[in-house]
Structure 1
Amino acid sequence: MTETTTLDDQDLPQTWSRRYADNLLGVFGSPQMCLVSGHGCHVTDAAGNSYLDLLGGIAVNALGYAHPAWVKAVSQQAATLAHVSNFFTTPGQLALAEKLLQLAEAPEGSAAFFCNSGTEANEAALKIVKAHHRGGRVIALEHAFHGRTLGALALTHKEIYRKPFEPLGAEVTFIPAEDPDALEAELVQGDVAGVFLEPTQGEAGVVPLSLEYLQSVRTLTRRHDALMVVDEVQCGMGRTGRWFAHQAAGITPDVMTLAKALGGGFPMGATVTFGSQITGILTPGQHGTTFGGNPLACAAALSVISTIESDDLLDHVRTIGRHLVDSITGIHPQVVEVRGSGLLLGVQLASPIAADVVTAARGAGFIINAANPSTIRLAPPYILTVQEADSFISALPGLLDAATTTQKEN
């Protein structure tokens, strides 16, 4: 164990990277940077370099960094009441539940359960599904990502994530997306408890499901008494320019899971049940959490929602998202297409150079993400300006050239 120190007046990169390697579990690999502060859409690293963050903590920091409304809400709540057990409730918890149900256009009898992450939200949803049909299978989509705990991991398609930890928390069958016949072939067997899907598959490379497919899933699951669970952990809370991505299809799911942008940087997740029949599936004692829905988390989430509303950020997300799509499409021979909507976008490349583009971008002062070897993911704060977006757009051809050259050299 190393002595506790700061990074001041030291050989910074060697210091923080050594301390990380010596003291943290290496499940994330080696960190790219040590970040020390942020404001707006920019962050600063331990060496004093500034970056335009176009990843937003992986779709988390909806209001960017140190947003005055968020800071005020969390600071005031911290000075008032930070945590209580779930033997009690608080005004913020009540207000947040009511507001989420309103935004979700949830029918009477709907309810919210608060937790701390998207994985936990999906764990709660999985328990609802399993309790609905004891012993039933669960359907998930190929290329799905729903989390890394044993239940949520069972729903995650990538075998390299699942294999070392089997048996997992559910019997799951994976089917291709956009194929209603494949779904119906499973449902007609009569043993399916529920279907999990992401309206936009983020980890798969930002792949939106068609509205027609979402509507088909809703029709088929109702017909066969299986629950439809929409995982909006990454694409919800305004990320696509709507409060929730599934709303574009005009459907009402049975369960919805949320996290990421919900807390605007504070750990916060939610599982929403639609209608009294679904709400009543879990009974007292069948699920719980110590920290979920604590006053600090609820204050953060309420500030995110109120700021999105007061600053008309849903409209801004749609506008700036269209600008990015229109500007990046065709900008370089490596750009095959730009997928997604709002500020959840995937730039499909012609070659597997995404990791090299990320490195080149970091050197030029931009933070982006390689969702897979040939896809760049953009999920910036909702407050991103046109000028900030244009700075990246202008730099992108050079970044793609640099990455192409690096690939050829290797």
Structure 2
Amino acid sequence: MHVVAATALLGQASSLRGAAVPCNAKAANSKSRPRVCRVLATAAAEKQAEAGTFADDFTKEIVEEEKKYILQTYARPDIVFTNGEGARMWDAHGKEYLDFSAGIAVNALGHGDPRWLEAVTEQAGVLSHVSNLFHTAPQVKLAKRLVESSFADRVFYANTGTEANEAAIKFARKYAKVKAGLDPYNADTALECATEIVSFTGSFHGRTMGSLALTYKDQYKTPFQPVMPGSVMVPYMDLEAARGVIKKGKTAAVFVEPIQGEGGINPASQEFLQGLRQLCDEADALLVFDEVQVGLGRTGKLWGHEHHGVSPDMMSLAKPLAGGLPIGAVLLKEHVAAVMAPGDHGSTFAGNPLVCHAACTVFDIISDPEFLAGVTRKGELLRSGLRAALEGNPHVQEVRGLGLICGVQLDQMAGPLVTAARDRGIIVITAGKGDIVRLVPPLVVSEEEIEKCCKVLGEVAKEVLK
């Protein structure tokens, strides 16, 4: 069945499912009602079976053509999602799911938020892209919001989190050259100053070659070695180990996630981040916070590092910023921005008016203090609900997190639980070594949806954790 035809049939099937509704309505008279209901029930059953066939064919074709035409770098279940609303999604068969992954912490406002949709539609009908060769108002309006709400003085736009981190690496390298009094455009001075970038075990900074060098999983890096030289990795939360490698004239920057996402929902301590700040100041190195996953409200504060009272020199953002449209950003202090000149870095698509206008709307919604208080409240409800639902299960070691980023540490691989939960209509993902269940729902998730998620995960854990 052709995909277009199947899509049309699925639309018909959706309306056919409503044919069963009149069975509950009052018939014209009580004598005819039983007969009417029997006829309608039979017709509805036939149409639902027909709809199921449409959905089966549609799903099969999409999956087969995905395998035929798309590079196979993802292992995906044979599910085709067709629509969503808030924290819920539906597949081609009409099955409903609670989305506690939010596109890996991207869909902060959930699916189909009317305010976001209005912003995207409005800007798409006016001006979507002109490149960074010219000025546009949405780009400036978003930058003003980001700067005035943070430690930063300037913003650089990218398209993704890994691109934002790549930009921060470049900025740090040039800053070190200028700080050392070298001509940054003289290739002969390339190694005469600090060039090393320090990161930590459990970190995830992206999959491009520079960001990849700062990421902890060997399986991500080994096939593509050599990655960017000059990277040093030390144990997360080990300040003494960090002190042993962060050195003046050697270290250009230190990259750290205030709360590790991919690494296992591991919050840093205030002592650790304050210690890194002091070490970087002593070494004339830049402190870079990667808030690609935890920035913009995910933790219950606008920026994740606000929990610790420590400010960086640069911070990378991406995932939730435009509510599902691709965007990345580096927020930076003036002393870093001052070393960059026109032509030093750029991007064709980054900061286009369409994505920036959408991001302004997302920012305005999330930055509201009442909204952030709701994230904190719902995060506490999620963790307490999970602890209650999983209480007594010997394979559950810990429930941890901040706001609406939550991890359930198991003593075994989490894949079977994630699969079983998906079969029951709850979408969660893994983290760490694959032994952690990660929950990052839309920030608009309801308390009722949280309670349902906890209940189902508790039931599934009893069934699959052995």
Same topology, TM > 0.5: yes
Say if 2:398 and 2:410, in contact at 8 Å, map to a contact too. Answer: yes
Say if 1:330 and 1:336, in contact at 8 Å, map to a contact too. Answer: no
- The superposition leaves residues 328-354 of structure 1 with CA deviations (integer Å, 9 ceiling, x where unpaired) of 1253213221111000111112332x1
The corresponding residue for 1:203 is 262
The corresponding residue for 2:80 is 34
The corresponding residue for 1:20 is 66
| Offset of residue 318 of structure 1 | 0.3
Q: Structure 2: how far apart are the matches of 1:142 and 1:7?
A: 47
Question: Are positions 1:215 and 2:214 aligned together?
Answer: no
Q: Structure 2: how far apart are the matches of 1:309 and 1:157?
A: 32
- Answer with 318-327 or 187-196: which moved more: 187-196
Question: Are positions 1:122 and 2:165 aligned together?
Answer: yes
Unpaired runs of 5+ residues, structure 1, are none
Question: Are positions 1:75 and 2:121 aligned together?
Answer: yes
User: What code does the residue aligned with 1:137 have?
Assistant: E
The corresponding residue for 1:368 is 428
Q: Structure 1: how far apart are the matches of 2:331 and 2:248?
A: 28
User: What code does the residue aligned with 2:214 have?
Assistant: L
Q: Structure 2: how far apart are the matches of 1:74 and 1:269?
A: 17
Q: Structure 1: how far apart are the matches of 2:396 and 2:64?
A: 37
Say if 2:3 and 2:58, in contact at 8 Å, map to a contact too. Answer: no
- The superposition leaves residues 66-89 of structure 1 with CA deviations (integer Å, 9 ceiling, x where unpaired) of 101100000000001111121112
Q: Structure 2: how far apart are the matches of 1:165 and 1:358?
A: 29
The corresponding residue for 2:410 is 349
The corresponding residue for 1:239 is 298
Say if 1:21 and 1:30, in contact at 8 Å, map to a contact too. Answer: no
Q: Structure 1: how far apart are the matches of 2:5 and 2:368?
A: 39
- The superposition leaves residues 300-321 of structure 1 with CA deviations (integer Å, 9 ceiling, x where unpaired) of 1111111124582211110000
The corresponding residue for 2:185 is none
Matches within 5 A, 1:104-123: 104-106=150-152, 110-123=153-166
- The superposition leaves residues 270-310 of structure 1 with CA deviations (integer Å, 9 ceiling, x where unpaired) of 01112x21111221101000010001110111111111245
Say if 1:264 and 1:300, in contact at 8 Å, map to a contact too. Answer: yes
The corresponding residue for 2:180 is none
Larger radius of gyration: 2
The corresponding residue for 1:188 is 247
Matches within 5 A, 1:58-207: 58-106=104-152, 110-134=153-177, 135=191, 136-188=195-247, 190-207=249-266
Identity over aligned residues, as a percent? 39
Of 381, 385, 396, 1:327 maps to 385
Q: TM-score, normalised by structure 2?
A: 0.83
Question: Are positions 1:225 and 2:284 aligned together?
Answer: yes
User: What code does the residue aligned with 2:159 have?
Assistant: N
User: What code does the residue aligned with 2:146 have?
Assistant: L
Q: Structure 1: how far apart are the matches of 2:316 and 2:69?
A: 33
Q: Structure 1: how far apart are the matches of 2:430 and 2:242?
A: 30
Matches within 5 A, 1:372-383: 372-383=433-444
Q: Cα RMSD (Å) of the superposition?
A: 1.6
- Answer with 118-127 or 174-183: which moved more: 174-183
Unpaired runs of 5+ residues, structure 2, are 10-53, 178-190
| Offset of residue 205 of structure 1 | 1.1
The corresponding residue for 1:388 is 449
Q: Structure 2: how far apart are the matches of 1:300 and 1:158?
A: 33
Question: Are positions 1:314 and 2:393 aligned together?
Answer: no
Q: Structure 2: how far apart are the matches of 1:33 and 1:215?
A: 45
Corresponding pairs, count:
399
| Offset of residue 28 of structure 1 | 1.1
- The superposition leaves residues 341-396 of structure 1 with CA deviations (integer Å, 9 ceiling, x where unpaired) of 000111112332x1111111111111100114321000001111111100111112
SS in 1 for 2:455: helix
Of 339, 343, 346, 1:288 maps to 346
Of 332, 340, 363, 2:401 maps to 340
| Offset of residue 223 of structure 1 | 0.8
Q: Structure 2: how far apart are the matches of 1:172 and 1:69?
A: 42
Q: Structure 1: how far apart are the matches of 2:78 and 2:443?
A: 24
Q: 1:393 to 1:101 in 2, by over 3 A?
A: same
Q: Structure 1: how far apart are the matches of 2:201 and 2:367?
A: 35
User: What code does the residue aligned with 2:86 have?
Assistant: G
SS in 2 for 1:69: helix
The corresponding residue for 2:45 is none
Q: 1:165 to 1:351 in 2, by over 3 A?
A: closer
Say if 1:338 and 1:345, in contact at 8 Å, map to a contact too. Answer: yes
SS in 1 for 2:325: coil
Of 227, 243, 261, 2:320 maps to 261
The corresponding residue for 1:7 is 6
Q: Structure 2: how far apart are the matches of 1:19 and 1:48?
A: 21
Q: TM-score, normalised by structure 1?
A: 0.94
SS in 2 for 1:327: helix
